[in-house]
Amino acid sequence: MKIFRSQLRQELTVMARNGEQLLLLVVIPIMLLIFFAQTDFLPTNSENKIDFLMPGILGLAVMSTAMVSLGIATGFERSYGVLKRLGTTPLGTRRLILAKVVAICVIEIAQLVLLIFVGQLLGWNPSRVNLAQVLVLLLIGTSCFAGIGLTLAGRLRAEINLAAQNGLYLVLLLLGGIFASNDELPKTLGDVAQVLPSSLLSSLLRNSFNNNELVITDAIALGGWALSACALAVISFKWSD
């Protein structure tokens, strides 16, 4: 337990020192939220604008932490030989991964609290929310994005990994049905977007917050993404360059 706590502390300290991550994790989601909530760019009608936006932004926050932040940090740890060296200590793979998972969850909780607070200031007040369902979906989303982030981090060179994570973040953001429904996209692109994990998560969250509904097929698809991404990460991950 002491070993685990020490590793967790190390993970959180290193993450907290990466100031530029703050932009990605907190500033960008909040700015997007405020901007689109206060303007009329979105094709949705103004009454339920914030109800449409908020679930997608929460999904985006999860993606930025679990995929981009974890992925980039792990990529650099690999290239600096940090993982290789830890591999010679009694830490062990299981404790290392667990420490990373808990560290992400801690950051996500902070993000969600902050975003929900800002959302409330903007008049967000979901009435028919199924909280347990939301939490489960966020967890599945977290494992899915962590799997994707670690798959890239476990193979690519640190700098290429950095670019790839940010690029993928942008693609998944634009095709994530976060600001507008995927129906607004050209037909083929919309069909592709529909099955991307960011779209699945945002629409699942939207249904849980606004209608207390669960589209089983979407949930299964997201679960499938999570399972395969994590499996791929486990199979392909290389501890050193």
Residue closer to another protein by CB (options 80, 117) is: 80
Sequential DSSP letters for 137-205: HHHHHHHHHHHHHHHHHTTS-HHHHHHHHHHHHHHHHHTTTSSS-GGGS-HHHHHHHHTSHHHHHHHHH
Asked if 91 is part of the footprint of another protein (rule: CB under 8 A), the reply reads yes
Only segment of 46-54, 76-84, 149-157, 173-181 that touches another protein (CB under 8 A): 76-84
In the bound complex, what is the minimum distance in angstroms from residue 84's beta carbon to another protein? 6
In the bound complex, what is the minimum distance in angstroms from residue 230's beta carbon to another protein? 22
Cα separation, 18 vs 195, whole angstroms:
32
Cα separation, 25 vs 160, whole angstroms:
20
Asked if 102 is part of the footprint of another protein (rule: CB under 8 A), the reply reads no
Cα separation, 69 vs 110, whole angstroms:
14
- Give burial (CB, 10 Å; 0-12/13-18/19+) of 114: middle
Asked if 51 is part of the footprint of another protein (rule: CB under 8 A), the reply reads no
In the bound complex, what is the minimum distance in angstroms from residue 6's beta carbon to another protein? 4
Asked if 10 is part of the footprint of another protein (rule: CB under 8 A), the reply reads yes
Asked if 13 is part of the footprint of another protein (rule: CB under 8 A), the reply reads yes
- What residue ranges bind another protein (CB under 8 A)? 2-3, 5-7, 9-10, 13-14, 17-18, 76-77, 80-82, 84-92, 240
